[in-house]
Amino acid sequence: MKDNINNNNSNRKNANNKMVSNHTPKEEQYIGPYRLEKTLGKGQTGLVKLGVHCITNRKVAIKIVNREKLSESVLQKVEREIAIMKLIEHPNVLGLFDVYDNKKFLYLVLEHVSGGELFDYLVRKGRLTPKEARRFFRQIISALDFCHKHCICHRDLKPENLLLDEKHNIRVADFGMASLQPEGSMLETSCGSPHYACPEVIRVKICK
């Protein structure tokens, strides 16, 4: 478990002058030491682009959040996601390496995994062998057990939020719905994806 942090900007790096603002298609954009390349995807809170370290060539995924296009409540969720991810260090949880920001954008430097979503993998394969299913399940349970022992509830676990690396190891991702719950407290909020959420969450019943 990483050291506790306050939910503020004191440990973030300024992104001013790190990114080319007026550019042509041939010009390169940088966030800190990372060169921005192709777009990997787009979520509800921002665009995700491939980043390559200009010295080591290490690949990362950089989530770009435009503050001006999001409501205050959504921005608070992003800040909460950052705070929670900074607390977690586990081989089966997607890593957050760094955060850059300026007045307009937040840049989350995330671990890059090349295997895509478990959902797409299941669609392609049709079914898993018992051995493969057990392996995935062990890794998911290991990650969730770690989170729960540190009072972190993911609250939106689904195949779309489970990523695979090049060796088909699980990475639990997307902590946008996650909550820090003190030991002994109960959850009372209906959230997550209806097709995957448990009945007590859908019914807004108090639960752990």
Q: Which residues are annotated as a binding site for ATP?
A: 63
Cα separation of 75 and 69, whole Å?
10
For 51, counting Cβ atoms within 10 Å of its Cβ (0-12 exposed, 13-18 middle, 19+ buried), the class is: buried
Q: Map tokens 């990483």 to a residue.
A: 2
- Amino acid (1-letter code) at residue 140: I
Residue 1: helix, strand or coil by DSSP? Answer: coil
Cα separation of 164 and 94, whole Å?
10
Cα separation of 39 and 58, whole Å?
16
User: Would you call 98 a catalytic residue per the annotation?
Assistant: no
Cα separation of 207 and 146, whole Å?
19
How crowded is the C-beta side of 40, counted as CA atoms within 13 Å? 22
Cα separation of 155 and 26, whole Å?
42
Contact between residue 153 and residue 198 where contact means Cβ atoms under 8 Å apart: no
Q: Map tokens 């607390």 to a residue.
A: 87
Active-site residue, selected from the candidate residues 98, 156, 165, 174: 156
Residues marked active site are found at 156
